[in-house]
Amino acid sequence: MLAKKIVSVLENFRKDSSASIDLKILEEIRIKYLGRNGLVTNLFEELKSVSKEEKPALGKSLNSLRDQITSKITELKQNLTSLLEKEKSHIDLSLPGRHKQLGSNHLLTQTLNEIKSIFRSLGFSSIEGPELESDYYNFEALNFPKDHPARDMQDTFFISKDFLLRTHTTPVQVRIMEKHQPPVRAIMPGRVYRNEAVSSRSYCMFHQVDGIYVDTDVTFAELKGTLVAFAKQFYMEDLKYRFRPSFFPFTEPSAEMDITCYLCHGKGCKVCKYSGWLEILGCGMVDPNVFKMVGYDPEKYSGYAFGMGIERTAMLKYGITDIRIFFDNDFRFLKQF
């Protein structure tokens, strides 16, 4: 009886294990034959009740049955596992490629790059200075009187009594002149800070680019020529412009430059507040007091300087009406440029 059962269990096992199986089914097969209630285990139970004479031979074949099944299951398990490993490392070359999302330069970077390249073609190098600046460079060396309102806590982020976040990039002019003798011709881009209420027109942090040219016999006519050449390249070739008298402590005389509103071509619209004109920058001839501060002889040298906001410049060029949008990093805005 038991001998027959051994043969049939082995046959069944062969059938079970030859079908197409995965690791889960293999485990079910193992339980079916070798588990606590498994077919082989039960046969060992039955062995207990066979006669003494038959026991050794039947015991032997039962052991061999168990060993065969065990080793077959181990072998199948190894095969299946290595197959799985192979599948994992398989690369399907027919799959479509993954689309790479490429970013682009921020509009402010693009605008600054354009400004830089125009001034580079006019002979200006580009130099940067520190954002954390001393009161001396930001105000004093630039001829700001002690009681000038810009020196108030309300307009400037003071870090300590003598240090502040620079309110303009003009202090870099002083740093350059301290280091180099004329001729000096450079632009100075960078980040600046002002303690202002945030609105669509002003932000607590923005960017400026200043410029300076010092040599013997530099005239206001050259200042105009340079800035008009810049504006024509940057805004439009056929623009009209005007220089209005203005005041800055570090230039004398000082002026502001306006161009015809590119949107309405001077007819008057919302952007130019119906004046037909847009103010694009401040400028002037370097004040002799500034030359004295850096050790230049004002009798021998003259120079011009100018400064503009990069956000403002981009806003004018692209018709952007809210400065905050530059810092929101909203894809819908960034993607347009």
Residues near ligand DAH (CB under 6 A): 168, 170, 210, 248, 251, 282-284, 305-307
Shortest reach from residue 284's CB to ligand DAH, in Å? 5
Q: Which is nearer to ligand DAH, 38 or 171 (CB)?
A: 171
Strand partners for 304: 213, 285
Shortest reach from residue 138's CB to ligand DAH, in Å? 10
The CA-CA-CA angle for residues 143, 313, 195, to 5°, reads 50
Q: Cα separation of 304 and 167, whole Å? A: 20
Shortest reach from residue 259's CB to ligand DAH, in Å? 16
Shortest reach from residue 101's CB to ligand DAH, in Å? 37
Q: Which is nearer to ligand DAH, 17 or 251 (CB)?
A: 251
Q: Tell me the two tokens of residue 272.
A: 């130019």
- With a CB cutoff of 8 Å and minimum separation 6, the contacts of 269 are 261, 263
Cα 268 off chain centre by: 38
3-state helix, strand, coil in the chain (%, to 5): 45, 20, 35
Closest CA to 259 of 237, 288, 287: 237
Shortest reach from residue 173's CB to ligand DAH, in Å? 6
Q: Which is nearer to ligand DAH, 111 or 170 (CB)?
A: 170
Q: Which is nearer to ligand DAH, 72 or 116 (CB)?
A: 116
Strand partners for 187: 126, 211
Q: Which is nearer to ligand DAH, 62 or 227 (CB)?
A: 227
Q: Tell me the two tokens of residue 169.
A: 């990039």
Q: Which is nearer to ligand DAH, 213 or 277 (CB)?
A: 213
Q: Cα separation of 17 and 11, whole Å? A: 10
Contact yes or no for 258/277 (Cβ under 8 A): yes
Residue of minimal Cβ distance to ligand DAH = 307
Strand partners for 194: none
Instruction: Give me the numbers of helices (H) and strands (E) for the chain, helices first please.
Output: 12, 9
Q: Which is nearer to ligand DAH, 38 or 303 (CB)?
A: 303
- With a CB cutoff of 8 Å and minimum separation 6, the contacts of 21 are 29, 76, 80
